Structure 1
C-alpha cells in the first residue's frame, strides 16, 4: 500500500506536466499516464491493484515499483503499508504572486531593450577607447597590501551580490521567490541565487530570470565606463576601473557552462534538456570505467538529437574543466600560498601588534576565509549525498518486500 503526498500541477511542456509536492519546492515532470498512476496511489490500494488499473497501458507490477522508487527518491511518498515515510506539509509561500510596479518597470520590454543596448554600448566603448579597456593593473586600487586585498575581496563580493540581486528581482517579477546563498562550482566558492520555484513558470518567462544577472552586470559596466568621462579624481577612477574589471571577470566566468552558470540554464531552457550536466556525468562514467560499448539505460532512452547535443556539450565541458583546474592550480593557489607566506613572515619577524604585523594578519585572514568556507560547503555537500544514498536504499527494500 503506497500513499503519496498532495501535489499541485503547473504548465504542460510538450507531452509532460510539471508537478510540485505541496509545502515544498520539489518538482517533477510527468507525462499524462504517469500522472494518472500517481493519482491512483492511496492508503487503501495495493501496488498490485494500481498495476491492474493501468494494465491497458502495458504497465506491469515491476514498472509500478520502479515508479515508486523514483517517487521515494524525490520525497513524494507519504507512507508504505501504513509506515510513515515523510510528513505532509502546508504551503508557506504563495506562488505566482503579483509583482510590484517597480519590478514590472525593471523587467519590462523597454528595460530589456536598454539592457541589450548596454551590451553593444560596452563593446563600442571598449573597441574605440584604449583608456577604458580593462588592464591587470586595475586590480590594485591602493599601494597598500592590506588595503588592496580588502578592496579586492569586498569589491568582488559586492559586484557578485549585485549580479545575484538581479536574479532575485527578476524572480519576483514573475511571481516567485528567490534567495542568495553560498555555494561552490568545482573548486570555486560562489554566491548563487536559489530559484527552486522556477519550474512553476513557463519556459519563456524563465529566460528573464536566468539573464537578469548578466543584464544588470552589463548595465553597471556601462555606468562605470560613462562615469570615467566625468571624474578626474585618481582614486575614483581606480575604483571605477576596478569595478569594470570585476564585472568582466564575472561575465567571463559565465562561459564555463559545466559550472551551471546563468548561460548553462539559458542553454538547457532553449534546448528543453533540463539537466545536461547529469547526462554528461553518465557519458563520463561510461568512458572512465572503460565501458566504451555500453550506454546506460538513461542515455538509451534519450532521443538522437538529445544524445548528440549531450556528447558535443560533454566534449566542450571536458576541455573547460581542464582550463578551470589550470587557472585554479596555476593562479589561485599560488596567490593564496604567496599571501600566507607573506603573512607568516610579517607576523613572525615584525614587532608584535605593529602596523605591518596587522597587515600580515589581515592578508592571511582575507585569503584563507574563502578557502575555509569552501571546505565547509564541500563537507556539507558530502553529508547531503550520504543522506540521499541512504534514502535510495529504500528502493531495494521496497522491491524485496513485495
Structure 2
C-alpha cells in the first residue's frame, strides 16, 4: 500500500468529514456512502487530506486517541467499505484496469433541483418562513377545533355523483400534493447544499413518494430538523389556506362553485391524513421518525430495530448478526424499546388494513367486476372500472415489488 502523501491526499479528497458529538461521520456524497468513526479517525483523514504521509497521519490520530493507532489498517478498512478507491491505495492494482466495484449507489445529479441556488432555497426556510409555517399550523388546528363544519369526513372523498369518477379524480390531486410534500424536503435539503434522491418507495402495505436525504448526516444534527419537518410545514400551509377559503365560502364572504368547495373538502381530508400519517407511522420511517431518530442521536435506527426485532422473534443469518454487531451502541440501545413501538405499529396497520382498506377494496372490486365481465368499448362504466382496477393493482401490488427489489439490492451490498 502506498504511503505517499500526495496519493493518499488524492484518495481521501472525495471524503467529507462531519463531527457529531463524540462521533464523526466520514462519507462519499457522490456514492451515498457514510460511516461513523471516532474522533481519531476524522483526525487521520483530515491529516491525509492536508497532504500528510501515512506515518504523519497515524501520529496525529494516535495523539488524538491517546493510544497507538494502526493507520494502515484504517486505510484498508476505508477501502473495504468503498470509501477509498482501491486503485489509489493499492500499489499492485492495474493502473489500466477498472477499480473494484464500490458498495453504494451513485447518485445521479438532479439538474433542475440542483440548479436552484441554495441562497434562493434558504428564503423558504429562514426564520420568517418558519414563523409562517408555524402560524399556518396553528391556524389549521384552531379552525379544525373551532369549526366542526370544516372538519374532514371520509364522505368528502365522494365529491362527484359517480363514486368511481370521484376516486379517479382524487388520485391525481393526492399525487400532486404528496409530491409537493416531498419537493419541500428536497428544497430544504438544497437550502443546506445537500443533494437528494426522489423516488417511489413503500411504507408497510402503502406505496409512497420518498425523498432520500441520507447525505444530511454531513451537517450538524441541530440543522437537520428543517429538512425533516419541511414536508409537514408545506402540508400545514396548504391545509390552512384551504380551510380559510372554505370558511370564507361558508360565511358567504366569497363565491365559489359548489363543486370546487367539495373538491377543497376532499383536499382537506387528504392533507389531514398526510399530517396524521407522519405522527402515526413513526414506526415506518415517517418524517417524525426522522425527527425522533435525530433527537435520540441514532444513525440507522430503523434497520437496527428490524434486526433486533427479527432476532427476538426468529433468528438472524450470519450476515444479519454481523450487521447488528457492527451497529452503533446507541442504535442497539434505542432499538430495544423502539422494537416494541414497531411491533405495535405494524399490528395497528394490519388491523386498519383488514378493517377498512380490505373491505373497501373487495366491495369496489365486486362492483367493478360486474362492469368488466361484459367488456364494451363504448361503455363508460367499463372504462371507469378498468381504470379503478388498474389503480388498485398498482397501489397494492407495488409495495411487494419494491420490497423484493430492496431485499435484492441489500443482498448485493447496494443498499444500506
Note whether the superposition's TM-score is higher than 0.5: yes
Which residue pairs with 1:207 in the alignment? 225
Over 3 Å counting, the alpha-carbon distance change for 1:242 and 1:93 in structure 2 is closer
Deviates more, 1:124-133 or 1:72-81: 72-81
Q: Which residue of 1 aligns with 2:100?
A: 85
Partner Cα distance (2:115, 2:169) in 1: 39
Instruction: Give the equivalent residue in structure 2 for 1:281.
Output: 306
Which of 11, 14, 23 aligns to 2:21? It is: 14
Distance in 2, matches of 1:123 and 1:207, equals: 21
Provide the rounded CA distance (Å) in 2 between the counterparts of 1:221 and 1:117: 12
Q: Match for residue 110 of structure 1?
A: 128
Q: Which residue of 2 aligns with 1:132?
A: 150
Whether contact under 8 Å (1:5, 1:78) holds in the other structure is: no
Q: 1:24 aligns with which of 3, 18, 31?
A: 31
* Aligned with residue 57 of structure 1, among 41, 45, 67: 67
Shift of the 93–86 alpha-carbon distance from structure 1 to 2, 3 Å rule, reads farther
Deviation at 1:361, TM superposition (A): 1.3
1:289–1:268 distance in 2 versus 1, CA, 3 Å: same
Cα distance in structure 2, aligned partners of 1:206 and 1:73:
25
Deviation (angstroms), 1:15? 2.4
- SS in structure 2 at match of 1:107: coil
Count of aligned residue pairs for this structure pair: 376
CA deviations 1:81-132 (Å, max 9, x no partner) are 527424799997999995244x333212111111111222111111111101
- The 8 Å contact of residues 141 and 148 in structure 1, kept in 2 or not, is answered as yes
The 1-side partners of 2:386 and 2:297 are apart by 50
Distance 2:315 2:107 in 1: 47
CA distance in 1, matches of 2:265, 2:303: 39
Q: Which residue of structure 2 lines up, in the alignment, with residue 151 of structure 1?
A: 169
Contact 2:27–2:83 (Cα < 8 Å) also in 1: no
Deviates more, 1:371-380 or 1:114-123: 371-380
- Structure 1 residues 2-401: aligned runs within 5 Å: 6-21=13-28, 23-35=30-42, 57=67, 64=73, 68=76, 72-74=80-82, 76=84, 78-79=86-87, 82=93, 84-86=99-101, 99-101=118-120, 103-231=121-249, 232-255=256-279, 256-289=281-314, 297-298=325-326, 302=329, 309-349=334-374, 351-388=376-413
Q: Distance in 1 between matches of 2:203 and 2:108?
A: 31
- Greater alpha carbon shift after TM alignment, 89-98 vs 238-247: 89-98
After superposition, give the CA deviation of every residue in 1:63-88 in whole Å (9 maximum; x if it has no partner): 948x8567534554525652742479
* 1:339–1:367 contact (8 Å) kept in structure 2: no
Following superposition, the deviation at residue 60 of structure 1 comes to 7.4
Unpaired runs of 5+ in structure 2? 3-7, 250-255
Q: Which residue of 1 aligns with 2:252?
A: none
- Partners of 1:358 and 1:289 lie apart in 2 by 46
CA RMSD of aligned residues (A): 3.8
Assess, with a 3 A threshold, how the Cα gap between structure 1 residues 200 and 34 changes in structure 2: closer, same or farther.
closer
Normalization by structure 1: what TM-score? 0.80
Structure 2 Cα separation of the partners of residues 331 and 56 of structure 1: 60
Structure 1 residues 21 and 307, CA gap change in structure 2 (3 angstroms): closer
Q: Is the 8 A contact 1:180 1:194 kept in 2?
A: yes
Distance 1:167 1:297, change over 3 A: closer
User: Are the equivalent residues in 2 in contact too, given 1:96–1:174 (CA < 8 A)?
Assistant: no
Instruction: Find the residue that maps to 2:248 and give its secondary structure.
Output: coil
1:216 Cα deviation from its structure 2 partner:
0.5
Q: Is the 8 A contact 1:11 1:18 kept in 2?
A: yes
